[in-house]
Structure formats: C-alpha cells, structure tokens
Amino acid sequence: MNEDLVKPFWKQFVTEHPELANEDTPYSDEYFGDDKKTARQFLDLVKSGDKTATCALYRMFEYYEESVPDEGSFHVITTFDGQPEAIIQVTDIDIIPFRAVPEDIAEQESGNTKDFDDWYNEYEAIFTRAMESIGETFEDDLPVVCQQFKLVYKQ
C-alpha cells in the first residue's frame, strides 16, 4: 500500500461520509487488471458506475496469504501506479469454478463492454498468466472469488 497517497484519500472519504466509515474502519487498496492499460480502463469503468463486479483466482489469495474480502468491506481502487481514485464497498461474495461464472457477473465485471465469450477468453488469458507467474497451470475448474460491489466514493 502506498500510505502517502492512499491514507489521505481514505481520510477525505471518511470526513465527507462519516455515515459509511471512520478512520479506524479497515480497508485495503488494489488495482484491477494485470497491466497499466487494463487497470486504467477498469478504474474508469468503476468510476462511471458501469463496473460493479470483479473476479479473482482463489488460488492467488492462498498463494499470497491474503484473506478473501468480506461482504461490507471497503477497498480503495488505484491506478496501476498506486494513485487512489475510487472507493468501493463489497456487497456480495461467491466462490465458484471459473467455468461456472454466470453471464450477469461477467457483464457487471466488464462494465457491459464485452459479450460473455470475449470476457471469458480475456479472463482465461489473465488467469493463465497469473498462474504461470507462480509456476502453476490454469484450469477452468479453479475457483474464482466473484465480488459484487458498489461505488461509494470517487475523485
């Protein structure tokens, strides 16, 4: 986490929205995608309200010893370089095999910019690269963490 950028952004959010959180409310920061261009595209979709879901390999949570987000948790969404621009709150979590991700989640995940087959192929490639980065092989029956969320703050 880039504390110098993220912490003041969080403080501004809680000052403006004390009904949602306070400075002691836990949060994390992250970017969506696996490169600078994709992170920017996804962040813009989040900020426009078009992207309201994300999917991540459960195996990556295990590998990096991170907890799966809880419903109600807050996440500061940043650019690939760590500049915070939005805060989301998780509204629903499901862990299902990648091949079982329903079309409505894929639509929310892509911000309605791709048809299901395009989304599936794009994420198959993203998840293949992620698994290769830890020396493992992607299989379409691997569990993914599907998070639905709402945008609660943007700049």
**52-82 pLDDT, tens per residue?**
999 999 999 999 999 999 999 999 999 999 9
Calculate the alpha carbon distances from 42 to 32, 45, 49, 78 in Å.
6, 5, 11, 10
- The total of structural domains in the chain comes to 1
Phi-psi category of 99—alpha, beta or left, where left has phi over 0 and alpha has psi -120 to 50?
alpha
Q: What is the pLDDT of residue 71?
A: 96
Classify 136 as helix, strand or coil.
coil
| CATH number where 119 lies | 3.10.400.10
**In this predicted structure, what is the pLDDT of residue 41?**
92
CB-CB contact of 153 with 17 (8 Å):
yes
Structure tokens at 54: 């994300």
Containing structural domain, residue 70: 3-151
DSSP string, 93-120: EEEEEGGG--HHHHHHHHTT-S-HHHHH
Tokens of 141: 């029956």
Is the dihedral angle over the CA atoms 20, 31, 90, 148 positive or is it negative?
A: positive
Q: What is the pLDDT of residue 86?
A: 98
Q: What is the pLDDT of residue 5?
A: 94
Cα distance from N-terminal residue to C-terminal residue, the chain: 18
Would you state the structure tokens that stand for residue 103, as one six-digit string? 């079309």
Tokens representing 96 are: 């299902």
Structural contact between residues 77 and 85, judged by C-beta atoms closer than 8 angstroms: yes
Taking 70 as the pLDDT cut, the residues of the chain under it are 1, 112
Beta carbons within 10 angstroms of residue 87's beta carbon? 26
pLDDT at 83: 96
pTM of the model: 0.91
